[in-house]
Chains A and B, each alone.
Chain A
Amino acid sequence: MKAIPAKFKVNGGIHPAYHKELARDKAIENMPIPALLSVSMSQHLGAPANPIVKKGDSVLRGQLIGETAGFISAAVHAPSSGTVKAVSEAPTAMGTTAAIVVIEPDGEDTWIEGLEGIADWQSTAPKTLVEKIAAAGIAGMGGAGFPTHVKLSPPPDKPIDTLILNGAECEPYLTADHRLMIERADTIWVGCQIIRKILGATTVRIAIEDNKPEAIAAMEQAMANAEGDVGITVLKTEYPQGAEKQQIFATTGREVPSGKLPMDVGCVVENVGTTLAVWDAIVNGKPLTERVTTVTGHPVAEPRNVLNRIGTPYSDLLAFCGGLKGDVAKIISGGPMMGLAQPGLDATTTKTTSGLLFLAPQETQTFNSMPCIACGRCIEACPMYLVPAELSQMLEAEDYEAAEELNVLDCIECGCCAFACPAHRPLVQHMKQGKSKVMLKRRQAQKK
C-alpha cells in the first residue's frame, strides 16, 4: 500500500499556525476515572436523549442511561459503574442547558453483562451491524457528532461507492486523531472494513494531511495486505480540509451540490475516531463510553492526548494534565477555529469533545469590528465559494431573503473568512446567526 498525493485542492482555505508540536508526540494516556461523571444527554446535534435512570439507581458501565428521542439521536450509556447521584440540568459546552445524569463511580468499573461482539461480522447482514452501532450510541467523533447509524443507513436510491476515512484533523492544536492513527492503525483498518461492508462501498480512501507522516506510515503498514480499490490519499495541509464536503472534493474530485448531502454524490465520510468506536461496538460489543481528547495550549503544564470517560469534567481533564503553568485568556472546547469558547471549566466531555484548548493572553486578541473595506480576502478564503463580505452586511441589515439567495445556508462556519478579514469583522458570527434566522423562517413558512 502506497500513499498517493491528492489530485484536487479545495477552493480557498487558510494556513493558520498549527502548534501541533505541543501534543503530537505524546502517546494516548488512559485517565483514571474522576470522582464524578456528569453525562450530558445532549451529546451531539439532533434531539437530546431522554434519561431513563433516576437518583439512587446503581448503574454498570455500558448500561443504557439515555434513550434516543427520534431518528437523528444517539443512545447514551453509563461511562463507568457506580451510583446515580442526580438527574438534573446543567450548562453544556455549547452554552445551552441540557439534562445530565451525574454518576458517582464505585471504582470497580464493572461492565454490564451480556455485551457480545459479532466475531463473524463479514457474513452478518449490514442491517444487523447498523442496529448494533445504533445500540452502541455512536455519534461522529470529529466534532459535529452526527449519529453514525443515520449516516450508515442511506436510502436505497442513493448507492454509496466511496468510503472516505477522515484523518485530516485540519484544526490547529488537535492531535487526538493523529495519535489514534499511529497507535491504533490496525483496529481502525478493521473498523473501516466493517463500515465498507455495511455500505457496500467499492472504493476506500484514507484521507490524511501531509503534516502527519507518522500517521500515514502507520496506516500504510496496517493496510499492507488490503485488497480492492483501497488507498491512502495524502492531502496538502490546509484548513479546512477535514470538513466533509471539502474532503470529498480533495479526495475524489466530486462536488456536493448546494443543499445536498455527501450521499448524493455516493460518498460517506467517517472520522477515524468514529471508526475505532464502530470496531469496538461490533467486535467487542462495547457501547461508546470513552474518547480521546487533546488537552493542549501553551499555558497547560503537560499537554496530553487523554483517553477519558464521557462525562469527565473539564477541570479534572486539566488537573490530569498537570494544571496550568501560565495565565489563560481563553478556554475553547474543540479546536481554535470551530471550537466553542467556554466561560469556565464546568462543562464535561461529550462524544464530540476532540480537544480542550487553553490560550494565553498574548495568543488572543479582542477586536473592534470595523466596516468592510471590500478587499475580498474573505472571498478568496471561503471554501464554499460564498461572498462573506456581502453576506455579513446583508445579515447586519437583517435582509435574510437576500442572504438566503446568496446561499448563506451553505456556510460551514469554518472561520476562514473571519481569520482572513483585516477589518476584524465577526463574519462567522453573522453567518451563524443568519443561518439560524433563515432556518427559523423556513420552518415558520412550512408550518403555514
Chain B
Amino acid sequence: MDINTILITAGAIGGVGLVCGTALALAAKFLAVKEDPRVEAMEEILPGANCGGCGFAGCADYAKAIINDGAAINLCAPGGAEVLDAIAKAMGIEASVEEKKVAVVMCAGDSDKAPRKHLYNGVADCTAAAAVAGGDKVCRYGCLGYGSCANVCPVGAIEIKKGVAIVHPELCISCGACVSACPRNLIKMVPISRTIHVLCSSKDKGPVVKKACQVGCIGCRMCVKLAGDAFEMDGFLARRNYDIPVENEGIVEKCPGKCIIKRGDSEDPAPAKPETAPEQTEGEASETKREG
C-alpha cells in the first residue's frame, strides 16, 4: 500500500478529530449547564428511595424544591430524623423533629374471624372486588385482602395474612401510598410508638357487627370508660386518639369486642427478607455468568 494513502487517511481522520474535539471543548465551555452543587449535595443526603411520599416526583425533585423553592425540609418520611438533621445542617436552619408515622390497617377480621358472603372469582384487586355486590366480606367495612395496598407499597412492608393486610412497622417508610390505595379507607398513619389500636372500622351497630366479625367493635364504650381520652367514640365505633398514650393497657384484655389489639414487632414478625435484594440480583446474575 502506498505510504501516502496511509498518511492522507491518518491526516484526514486526525484533522476531523481535531476539529470536532475543539468544537466540543468550546461547546463545553460556552454551553455549559450550571448545576447547583447544593442540589447535588442534597440528593446525596436524601435516601434515594423515590417513594414520592414527600409529594414531589422523587428524591431529585424534592432536593431541587428544597434548594430552589424553599420547600419544607421535614417531608422525607423514610429518611427519618437522621436525614432531617443532615438537611437542616446543610441548609443552616433549625429542624423540627416529628415522630415517624407508620401505616396501620384498621381491620383484624381475618379468614378465621370474619366470614365471606360469596365466592369472588375476578380480578385480584380490592377496588374490583368491592364493586361486585359490595365486596365478598359480610362486613361492609372490613379489609378485603386482595392486596391493593401491598401492590403499591414501594418497600414491600405490607403482607396479606389470612385475608387481611398487615403493615410491618419496622419496614414501613411512611410514604402513605397505601392510604389512598385502599378502597375502604382502612389505612391510617399512626405514630410508631403507639402500639395499641382499635383494629375495626365498622360503623354498624353491635348486633350487625357480631354477625359479620368475631373481632369487631360493638360500640360498648368500655374503652372510653376505662382508658379515658386515649379512645373516643365515632357513632358506634371506638377510635383511638393517638395524641394520648394508653395508660391502662388492661383494656386490651377487657375489650368485649376483642378489637383493641396491641401490635408489636415481636407479635407479627416481618416476612423473611428475600435472600437477594432486587438491585443485587442483576449483579449476582452476571457474576454467575462470568464464573460459568
Contacts and interface: CB of A to CB of B under 8 A. Distances in A.
B117 A95 contact: no
B122 interface: yes
A96 interface: yes
Interface string B84-121: 00000000000000000000000000000000011101
A433 B117 contact: no
B134 A433 contact: no
A142 B118 CA distance: 27
B232 interface: no
Given A95-B133, A343-B133, A343-B134, A366 B119 contact: yes
B180 to A, nearest CB: 12
Contacts of B241: none
A433 B123 contact: yes
B155 to A, nearest CB: 19
Interface in B113-142: 117-119, 121-123, 125, 127-128, 130-136, 140
Given A343-B118, A433-B128, A95 B134 contact: yes
A340 B122 CA distance: 14
A339 to B, nearest CB: 11
Interface residues of B, number: 17
Contacts, number: 41
Given A97-B140, A343-B117, A343-B118, A430 B123 contact: yes
Contact of B117 (A96, A344, A436): A344
Nearest to A437: B127
A95 B132 CA distance: 6
Given A366-B119, A429-B128, A433-B125, A340 B140 contact: no
A369 B125 CA distance: 13
A26 interface: no
Interface string B134-153: 11100010000000000000
Given A97-B140, A366-B119, A340 B133 contact: yes
Which of the four size classes fits the interface of chain A? 10 to 19
**Interface SS, A side:** mixed
B131 to A, nearest CB: 7
A344 B130 CA distance: 16
A344 B131 CA distance: 16
A333 to B, nearest CB: 9
Contacts of A343: 117-118, 133-134, 136
Interface string A86-122: 0000010001110000000000000000000000000
Contacts of B132: 95, 341, 429
Nearest to B116: A343
Give 5 closest A-B pairs by Cβ, nearest first.
A95-B134, A95-B133, A366-B121, A343-B118, A343-B117
22 contacts: A91-B140, A95-B131, A95-B132, A95-B133, A95-B134, A95-B135, A341-B118, A341-B133, A342-B133, A343-B117, A344-B117, A366-B121, A369-B123, A426-B122, A426-B123, A429-B122, A429-B123, A429-B128, A432-B131, A433-B127, A433-B128, A436-B131
Given A95-B135, A96-B134, A433-B128, 17 more contacts: A91-B134, A95-B130, A95-B132, A95-B133, A97-B134, A97-B140, A341-B132, A343-B133, A343-B134, A343-B136, A366-B121, A426-B123, A429-B122, A429-B132, A432-B131, A433-B125, A436-B131
